[in-house]
Homo-oligomer: A and B are copies of this chain.
Amino acid sequence: MNAPPNIADHLVLFMPSGKRGRFPKGTTVLDAARQLGVYVESVCGGRATCGRCQIEVQEGHFAKHKISSSKDSISAIGPKEARYAEKRALPVGRRLSCSATIEGDLVVDVPQDAIVNAQVVRKDADQRVIERYPAVQLCYVEVDEPDMHKPLGDLDRLKAALREDWGFNRLEADAHLLSEVQSILRQGKWAVTAAIHHDDEGDAARIIALWPGLKNEAYGIACDIGSTTIAMHMVSLLSGRVVASAGASNPQIRFGEDLMSRVSYVMMNPDGRQAMTKAVRQEVGKLVDKVATEGGVDRSDILDAVFVGNPIMHHLFLGIDPTELGGAPFALAVSGAVKARAGDLRLNLNPGARLYMLPCIAGHVGADAAAVTLSEGPHRQDEMMLIVDVGTNAEIVLGNRKRVVTASSPTGPAFEGAEISSGQRAAPGAIERVRIDRETLEPRFRIIGSELWSDEPGFAEAIAATGVSGICGSGIIEVIAEMYLSGIVSEDGVIDGAMAAKSPRVFSEGRTFSYLLHDGEPRIAVTQNDVRAIQLAKAALYAGIKLLMEKQGVETVDTIRFAGAFGSFIDPTYAMTLGLIPDCELDKVSAVGNAAGTGARMALLNRNHRREIEETVRRIEKIETALEPRFQQHFVYAMALPNKVDPYPKLAGQVTLPPRKVLSDGGTEGPRRRSREERAARRRR
């Protein structure tokens, strides 16, 4: 039966990418996708055995796209596809794109979650679907048997098959496979699955692993090495699903609590660098064990790994001395993306597993900030987006499609509860939410571990196990903001001694006053020094943000993203009330959780995202706050609540800000003292 040779081609639209093209009747949907550059997974290379290439036909008339699609526009299920559907339970509505052919105009949906094996399903904080185009790909091939007349080697015939079936024209093989290729080919009766690493388009692709027969699953890990915690996801490279996640404390804490103390440790101890490198790599190894066990996966099935971290964590993980990062000019040993083999770092994954680290942006703005940028994508959109990742250093990114600038600000550890008299890490028992009655100045609060407010019935019983142990970072933000909103603290950050008359919770301690938050054991009060510590931290953060806004030439930002653990717990209203961040619509301020981890997953699952962040980091302009003459002035203005000079009209629309009140440090109302700069600034407004 000969079809007429010149039948009109059919229009095919792929969703969600929106790519479209015309194809002759009878073209497989997989071929059409490939020709359009739509990534549809396939391991078996069109043999209808791996089930990875599932698609769904969308039915109906799509006016926007001027296309009508129906189930009749795709071929009926043939015998090979039926065999797969029977053996592996193909979900209703799903088709194998390698077998289904185009018979009319079609709208095709490429689901990003094709489930082939019954996997442990995890609910993850970030359920974002990442379009896949991984650097490591599984390719099933059937290799010619040896032939005396054509004496190509086993490996060479394998390469020929991969070239023929998968289009790899330049292909090398890892040395460790040389001694294995022979037996694997024979074990698989000349049918094998090769793992191909092809990250940079310009380089030869490499065979990094090989299995007899059809190998239908492979994994990668995405890992964020923080100074405090290490978080790891194990992800299927075939479906993109997070199969297991785990976290652990960074064992380097025993060498130094914060980054600078770890750098000092290296400077003071000849073997300090080695010891910390070993410690972090061992912990990463344990986490790999953990996610592999949880996911029921063999370590040797892990073929790719992406790591992010701040510059010091990045260097220590790579075995680089971080001493240079301890002082100006904060010289990174390597800033570009690092491509290596997992074995180079003695990570025990598959012997051919690869490793990728995102680029660092600057000496204080690391691969973690790059990952956050990749995740949130200021460079992908038009709005002016501010990203703030608060830690001991705050990393700040501000930009849009046109231009992205970045800086880090030395906020110090106050936001983490350090330097605060009753401060503590976020842990059960820590006060995390605070409200103060504007009239009585009586507080109520919530602690981590209980949903009840302290004035609700059953609170005492609910917290019996932990008690009230201190104030964590988000708690200290809230209590000082509430103290400001209820007039206990002045615009200049002074606890107002006059309020002692209104409530005994305001009490004098020497020359300054404190606010009693919890009259128990321990007694928890907010002191003048506590307010000063938070003022210093938030002024540093805001001054950095302000510098970047000046560089961008903007007075306001459109959206604000809080990255990191601190950002997840902080209430944007209070952050804005205290002036950590500039004025913004409150519903445009959001916490994005472990965005660094999400960025790492993106780089793991799609090599185009690697090129994207490499290119973006090359373009990002880095501002060194310490070198900017205006930093000091911004800092001084930002000491005020919320700010001496910058208005907060959007915040004022949502929150009743107190009338201006300026107090001297002793907590008494004094003559309004303004610096010359302040007066000049006010005149300019």
With A148-B328, A321-B182, A321-B183 known as contacts, the answer to whether A336 contacts B153 (CB < 8 A) is: yes
| Interface membership of A178, Cβ < 8 A | yes
Q: List the B residue with the shortest CB-CB distance to A336.
A: B156
Chain B residue contacts of A363, Cβ below 8 A: 148, 151
A153 touches B334 (CB 8 A): yes
A331 touches B155 (CB 8 A): no
With A202-B204, A204-B203 known as contacts, the answer to whether A154 contacts B319 (CB < 8 A) is: no
| Interface membership of A627, Cβ < 8 A | yes
Chain B residue contacts of A334, Cβ below 8 A: 153-156, 173, 178, 181
**How many residues of A are counted as interface, with CB atoms below 8 angstroms from the partner's CB atoms?**
54
A331 touches B154 (CB 8 A): yes
With A175-B345, A318-B178, A345-B175 known as contacts, the answer to whether A151 contacts B622 (CB < 8 A) is: yes
A179 touches B336 (CB 8 A): no
Separation of A360 and B331 alpha carbons in the complex (Å): 48
Q: List the B residue with the shortest CB-CB distance to A332.
A: B153
B319 touches A146 (CB 8 A): no
Separation of A626 and B151 alpha carbons in the complex (Å): 14
Chain B residue contacts of A324, Cβ below 8 A: 146, 182
Separation of A116 and B624 alpha carbons in the complex (Å): 47
Task: Report how many copies the assembly holds.
Answer: 2
Separation of A179 and B149 alpha carbons in the complex (Å): 50
User: B-facing mask of A144-167, CB < 8 A → 1, else 0?
Assistant: 001111111111100100000000
Chain B residue contacts of A179, Cβ below 8 A: 318-321, 333
With A148-B363, A202-B170 known as contacts, the answer to whether A156 contacts B335 (CB < 8 A) is: yes
Chain B residue contacts of A204, Cβ below 8 A: 200, 202-203
Chain B residue contacts of A318, Cβ below 8 A: 178-179
Separation of A146 and B330 alpha carbons in the complex (Å): 8
Count chain B CB atoms within 10 A of each CB in A182, A345, A363 and give the residue with the most.
Answer: A182
Separation of A363 and B331 alpha carbons in the complex (Å): 54
| Interface membership of A341, Cβ < 8 A | yes
Q: List the B residue with the shortest CB-CB distance to A186.
A: B324
User: B-facing mask of A337-356, CB < 8 A → 1, else 0?
Assistant: 01111001100000000000
Q: Given B172, B175, B333, B339, which contacts A341 in the complex, CB threshold below 8 Å?
A: B175
A178 touches B330 (CB 8 A): no
A159 touches B336 (CB 8 A): yes
Chain B residue contacts of A150, Cβ below 8 A: 622
Separation of A152 and B178 alpha carbons in the complex (Å): 38
Chain B residue contacts of A320, Cβ below 8 A: 178-179, 182
| Interface membership of A472, Cβ < 8 A | no
Separation of A314 and B594 alpha carbons in the complex (Å): 51
Can you list 27 A-B contacts with CB-CB less than 8 angstroms, sorted by A residue number?
A146-B330, A148-B328, A148-B363, A148-B627, A150-B622, A151-B331, A151-B332, A151-B361, A153-B331, A153-B333, A153-B334, A154-B332, A155-B335, A156-B335, A156-B336, A159-B336, A172-B339, A178-B318, A179-B320, A182-B320, A182-B333, A183-B321, A200-B204, A202-B202, A202-B204, A203-B203, A203-B204
A148 touches B330 (CB 8 A): yes
Which residues between 169 and 205 of chain A lie within 8 Å of chain B, taking CB atoms?
A: 170, 172-173, 175-176, 178-179, 181-183, 200, 202-204
